[in-house]
Amino acid sequence: MANLTIIIPARNDEFDIAETVSKIIDTVTVDYEILIVNDHSTDKTRDIANGLVDKYRKTAIKVIDSLMAPSFVNALMSGVTCAKTTFFIPVMADLCDTPETINLMYSKISEGYDIVVGSRYSGSGRRMG
């Protein structure tokens, strides 16, 4: 069983979700599951996400619909409620977060930190674009 749930709130991210999931699969080395939370998308986000479940059969990917009002926070809460692991890390569906940091964040969790927060606005973080 996975130790970490990577929660991806997604709303109208049909052009980004496949690349985001692919990048996570290519870079994250810890034992994880991916939970894509469809946040009332009106495009093909949900269909594409379901296709990723079939494409990456060896990776634990689940797609759920947020039943709360549309918002990032509500989609994230839906994901946390459905996560089956003790630890979770949210990742934006448009790749504005860098999945490469997930391994480092999880290593800090494994060291015993209660909360690990990644931010491009602190320390050596930066905003690009």
pLDDT tens-digit map of 77-121: 999 999 999 999 999 999 888 898 999 999 999 999 989 988 777
Q: Output the six-digit token pair for 7.
A: 């929660």
What strands, in cross-sheet order, belong to the sheet with 4-10?
61-65, 32-38, 4-10, 87-90
121 in Cβ contact with 127 (< 8 Å): yes
For the stretch 9-41, pLDDT in tens is 999 999 999 999 999 999 999 999 999 999 999
In this prediction the pTM is 0.91
Average of pLDDT values for 44-52? 98
Half-sphere exposure of 65 (CA within 13 A, CB side): 7
Per-residue confidence band for 52, with pLDDT thresholds at 50, 70 and 90: very high
> Which segments of the chain are extended strands (E)?
4-10, 32-38, 61-65, 87-90
